[in-house]
Amino acid sequence: MISKKISITRDTFDQLILPVYNPVSFIPVKGKGSRIWDQEGKEYIDFSGGIAVTSLGHCHPVLNKILKNQSKILWHVSNVFTNEPALRLAKKLVSFSFASRVFFANSGAEANEAAFKLARYYSCKTYNTKKNIIISFYNSFHGRTFFTVSVGGQSKYSDNFGPKPKGIIHASFNNINTVKNLINNNTCAVVVEPIQGEGGVIPASISFLKELRTLCDKYNALLIFDEIQTGIGRTGKLFSYQNYDVIPDILTLAKSLGGGFPISAMLTTKKVASIISPGVHGTTYGGNPLACAVAESVIDIINTKKFLSGVEKKSKRIIRELNIINKRFKLFTEIRGQGLLIGAVLKSNISCKINEILNFSFLEGVIFLTAGNNVIRLAPSLNIRERDIIEGMKRFSNALEKCLL
């Protein structure tokens, strides 16, 4: 029998949890806005946003109220039924995007899995079974299922699990000529992140995305935008594709969509969806009333001109603060990204490694992420307050003093 007074520490993780993660030494127990507190009561300013998930901060009062109200009405009904929160959310996603149809799931990987399956199914049904090749990009990341991790362009995540799915090839990101050398009449889809998040916060160029659209049209291939990390206000638009004047055939969302509650979505056109029939695909928890009620509220809050323009203002303030820090410490070669997905690229000759910089930052009470081997990634809540930005950057500067000087 487990004691009611069981001690919960970082060591508990090592004793009980499959070691696919390596969590930091402290355990967060409370969050409010862009600040969290650990078991000892220490406060941290959070520039990680749960890896671009807590789009409205921790424990947003409106989301709390919506979740509490929905929990008293209906939790789960399965896909034998539909439900009102799912239909309301779908209507808003369709109204505000290029799409005509929505599929709800639980995670970014599930949304991408559905997108890749749909692309192959559509192409095989519409053209022929040989039209099944998916083109992705090196350093991309599309999820952790075996299919999605194989489509992703980082072999370190897909090696040593046995034979990989066939029909997946990789081109070089932002290099259209490598795509031209690969694409042909057997290509069913090209999948691209508007900004490669895990790969180093690398934005796609407008010309690159427009030329991808042209090539897909030429070869009757579907263009898939993976907006798991960039969607729902992260780049200053509700959807990142709206920054480029390039319309995909399929788009995937997760992370910020639920503001911390697990939900994802795949959006597509009526034409592509027309070949689907009941039983072709599904998921037990997709369209869950609790998740959809919360996500609808997230959309309502974020999708206003004032809120989205605020994302741009906060982005400029953070970049300005990072440039001030860089002027003093000469730490970064480049600060890049869009909106509130920002990457600061470290110089190769600095005395501290990236993990040491993050650890010193934790000690000073500020939380960042990494992307790739040399990029500090910031993906804070979209409504992070200016005073939190200023205080967080002050703490970051203090951390760098102790790490580098």
Q: Is 291 annotated as a binding residue?
A: no
Which distant-in-sequence residues (6+ apart) come within 8 Å of 162 by Cβ?
Answer: none
Cα–Cα distance for residue pair 72/131, rounded to 1 Å? 48
DSSP states of 278-340:
TTSS--SSTT-HHHHHHHHHHHHHHSSHHHHHHHHHHHHHHHHHHHHHHHHH--EEEEEEETT
Cα–Cα distance for residue pair 260/247, rounded to 1 Å? 27
Please state whether beta strands 222-226 and 250-253 pair in parallel, antiparallel, or not at all (unpaired): parallel
DSSP secondary-structure letter at 258? G
Q: Is 109 annotated as a binding residue?
A: yes
Q: Is 15 annotated as a binding residue?
A: no
Q: How many H-runs (helices) and E-runs (strands) does the chain carry?
A: 13, 17
Cα–Cα distance for residue pair 114/107, rounded to 1 Å? 11
Q: Is 144 annotated as a binding residue?
A: yes
Q: Is 284 annotated as a binding residue?
A: yes
Q: How many CB atoms lie within 10 A of CB 347?
A: 13
Q: Is 108 annotated as a binding residue?
A: yes
Which contiguous run of DSSP H or E holds residue 204? none
Residue given tokens 């579907």 in the structure block: 222
Strand partners, 375: 345, 371
Q: Is 283 annotated as a binding residue?
A: yes
3 state DSSP class of 105: strand
Q: How far is CA 58 from CA 3, 49, 106, 260, 397, in A?
A: 30, 9, 20, 8, 24
Residue given tokens 């995909």 in the structure block: 248
DSSP states of 263-275:
-EEEEE-HHHHTT
Asked whether the beta carbons of 339 and 236 are under 8 A apart, the reply is: yes
Q: Is 226 annotated as a binding residue?
A: yes
| Known binding-site residue numbers | 108-109, 141, 144, 226-229, 283-284
| Known binding-site residue numbers for N(2)-acetyl-L-ornithine | 144, 283
| Known binding-site residue numbers for pyridoxal 5'-phosphate | 108-109, 141, 226-229, 284
